[in-house]
Structure 1
Amino acid sequence: MKEMRELWTRVEHWVDTQPALPPSEAVFGPPARAAQIEAAEQAVGRIFSESFRASLLVHDGQFVPGTGRRSEDEIEWVRWLPNQMVLLPLRDILATWREERAFEAENASAVEGISEETADDDRVRAFPTVTHAGRLPIAGQEASAYMYLDFVPDPAGALGQVILTKNECDFSVAGEDFQDFLARYVDLLERGVLRYDADTYHSVIPADPRVAFDSLIELRVV
């Protein structure tokens, strides 16, 4: 818990040093209650990883637009995560997870009979569909980019690893767990490898336009 609190303090400091962004207290939500976390775990049938539980006990994602602490605030999503994503609060995590289950049920016949193609040295399982009940969507954007906690990794992967959608059917691994991802990501922010672009994208982008986001955050196991 101490390590996660320290990481979030660094994230908050980075946000507070960005002239174009609101103060961090207006961006990130208050802590989740233990009972809320347990209810969410029961709903999805998975025990969250220790590091993600610790993160929720610091910040339950980001404020939903229009629900800032002060009535005069018009809070908008601050897209500080890769590919213009935002960190979802528990209620949106559950809503998105349920939407994906409904979509799978509706389209089950389209993937019936398709086998999974996964090699033993893969870290992310290649299911016939990208979504899976064992993948918890913890960040996303209005289009189709999502960050998941992966509770169904391939043998070479890690339970609770952080995975990102690269395209409509592939993932990259961005952290062994949420704490590993956040530590690596805030380091990129602090070193200026990533920067907040307030003019064009209104989100975090690589400082070097020749560098792809995936190449900076994808976990490489030697």
Structure 2
Amino acid sequence: MTDTAAEVDRRVAEAWARIEAGLGGVLPSSLRLLNAPAPAPAIDAAEAALGRTLPPDFRASLRIHDGTEPGATLPSLAPSPVPLTNLCDTDLIVEMTQMWRDNYGPEPDWDDPQVWAHLVDSEMLCLNGPVRPIIGSPGAVVVGDLNGDVLWLLDGDPAPGGTPGQVVRVDIECASWDVLAPSWTQLLVRYAEDLALFAADPDTSPLQIDPLVGPACEWGSTPSSSWGTRPAWLRDVQARSPYI
């Protein structure tokens, strides 16, 4: 059963209210970096420029906050409210996604589950969840950025077992791909819950928060001890080295 537009809007608004309450308790100065709502024409224009429709819950999120202002910059106005430099506004979503797509080139010898299995086994690649590790994948939309090194993507072409629109964290330099949540709403809820855990007892929360910088970008990433472990969808794939 598909949620109605009103239900989607309500769930996203509730999740953002929980995040704002959490930030108000542990990082209140960061709240000023949450942008005002994006007007519907700006969201429509972004979709037109991208050539694809954004998930309804992400559209609803943009109508609450059109991304965030960059935090932890010099001079810094305030710490970032998210574990990134910023969430992208509608203009930056288009710009960053176009830059992402510019890096795409078909690599049949590498864009192969057998090769990915080999790279995971060799600890040259980390995959946490049903995500295809294709740099510049045309099915992805960039929605968050940390200095171009760590990105959050809406994944429109997930691996088997994934959900279209799932949120993926990509650490380019570390060759690490982590599915953070099956949807944008579930990502917001996960973040709200971890903020609440941090407020109650920082040692129990996956978040690490620097009061001057904001949450650490490692939130949601795979622990180094898990490198070398294949995700379920790759478990029975025969590995193939691309070097042979």
Does TM, normalized by the shorter one, top 0.5?
A: yes
Structure 2 unaligned spans of 5+: 1-8, 115-128, 199-204, 224-230, 233-244
CA contact 1:189–1:195 (8 Å) conserved in 2: no
Tell whether the 8 Å contact from 1:80 to 1:196 is kept in structure 2 after alignment. Answer: no
After superposition, where does 1:79-94 map in structure 2 within 5 Å?
Answer: 79-82=80-83, 84-94=84-94
2:23 is equivalent to residue 12 of structure 1: no
Unaligned ranges ≥5, structure 1 = 66-73
Q: 1:183: which partner in 2?
A: 189
Among 196, 204, 214, the alignment partner of 1:203 is 214
Structure 2 counterpart of 1:81, one-letter code: V
Q: Is residue 63–residue 75 contact of structure 1 (8 Å, CA) maintained in 2?
A: no
Contact (CA 8 Å) 1:30, 1:60: kept in 2 or not? yes
Structure 2 CA distance for aligned equivalents of residues 99 and 171 of structure 1: 18
Q: Equivalent residue for 1:134? A: 139
Q: Deviations over 1:137-191 (max 9, x none)?
A: 1111114100000011123110000000145433111111100111011101111
Q: Cα 1:166–1:63, aligned 2, differ >3 Å: closer, same or farther?
A: closer
For 1:31-180, what aligned pairs fall within 5 Å after superposition?
A: 31-63=37-69, 76=77, 78-82=79-83, 84-104=84-104, 108=105, 112-118=107-113, 123-127=130-134, 130-168=135-173, 169-180=175-186
Give, as a single letter, the amino acid of the residue that structure 1 aligns with 2:62. L
**How many percent identity over aligned positions?**
24
Aligned residues: 193
Maintained 8 Å contact 1:149/1:162: yes
On the 8 A contact 1:149/1:160 being kept in 2, the answer is yes
Quick one: distance in 2 between partners of 1:77 and 1:136? 27
Q: Which has the bigger relative contact order, CA under 8 A and spacing at least 6?
A: 2
